[in-house]
Amino acid sequence: MSRHTPSMSVMVAAARKAARGLQRDFGEVENLQVSMKGPANFVTAADKKAEKVIFQELSKARPGYGFLMEEGGVVEGADKSHRWIIDPLDGTTNFLHGIPMFSISIGLEREGQIVAGLVYNPISDEMFIAEKGQGAFLNDRRIRVAVRRELAQAVVGTGIPHIGRPGHQRFSAELGAVMNEVAGVRRMGSAALDLAWVAAGRLDAYWEANLAAWDVAAGIILVREAGGFVTDLNGRDAMLDTGGILAGNEALHRQLGDVLKKAHKPA
């Protein structure tokens, strides 16, 4: 633990504190499956509670830093150069259904650049962290992106738009193109964890559209510090603005990008 900078220590402490509540609440979810409305309201409350804990902890440790949060939106800080980007519960649908694949995601932005990121799965107790220039770690063990260089051997993560979300046709075209090229496609249900898993070499690559900044901020630096490449779906460094993301090692990032581009060309 001595390797953590003071900022990372603050982030880890905030995530662990919020995780205790989420672990308790996750244990309760199964008892609430009696009514349709009960669990959904409960999960919203769990989400807000976790965000409040993280907000309080980070505010106490770094007074003046700004915030961009899923639930609480933008909170301007006196210190204009630093901003926390937080998703207190990424994977709410999984949480609601008792699927133990969700995460707390905290990113730290300095002068518009992400300089530190943390993704934590409270159920598996897997803490992924990265700081600019320091490498990426899973529970204090150094992690690297996978070394596979052929899409035909690759397992690729994605997100599937559900009811009420845009991009169904676009995704169907992309999936049709990708599944012909790869060893497997996986949909985990938490974008932050998908990116952390790319950093750890579990997924070889990952793509998704229509994400929010708090879904991806921490994951971006995790992948980069693990030796990977991350861009938006147009190959630019505008993930937080466009909401699209493409991640993998250098070879697979390029190859998957090519397949996705072809998917949108008129036949």
Q: Which residues of the chain have pLDDT under 70?
A: 1-3, 30-38, 267
Q: What is the pLDDT of residue 10?
A: 97
Q: What is the pLDDT of residue 267?
A: 66
Residue 264 burial (10 A CB sphere; 0-12, 13-18, 19+): exposed
Q: What is the pLDDT of residue 42?
A: 84
d(CA 217, CA 103): 13
Q: What is the DSSP string of 9-77?
A: HHHHHHHHHHHHHHHHHHHHHGGGTTSSHHHHHHHHHHHHHHHHHHHHHHHHHSTTEEEEETTTEEE--
Angle at 183 between CA 181 and CA 186, to 5 degrees: 105
Residue 93 burial (10 A CB sphere; 0-12, 13-18, 19+): middle
This prediction has a pTM of 0.95
Q: How, if at all, do strands 65-69 and 79-90 pair?
A: parallel
Q: What is the pLDDT of residue 162?
A: 93
Contact (Cβ atoms closer than 8 angstroms) between residue 94 and residue 102: yes
H or E segment to which residue 179 belongs: helix 168-179
d(CA 206, CA 139): 22
| Cα radius of gyration (the chain) | 18
d(CA 56, CA 64): 12
Q: What is the pLDDT of residue 220?
A: 98
d(CA 22, CA 206): 26
Q: What is the pLDDT of residue 27?
A: 87
Contact (Cβ atoms closer than 8 angstroms) between residue 190 and residue 102: yes
Q: What is the pLDDT of residue 178?
A: 98
Q: What is the pLDDT of residue 34?
A: 46
- Say whether 186 sits in a helix, a strand or coil: strand
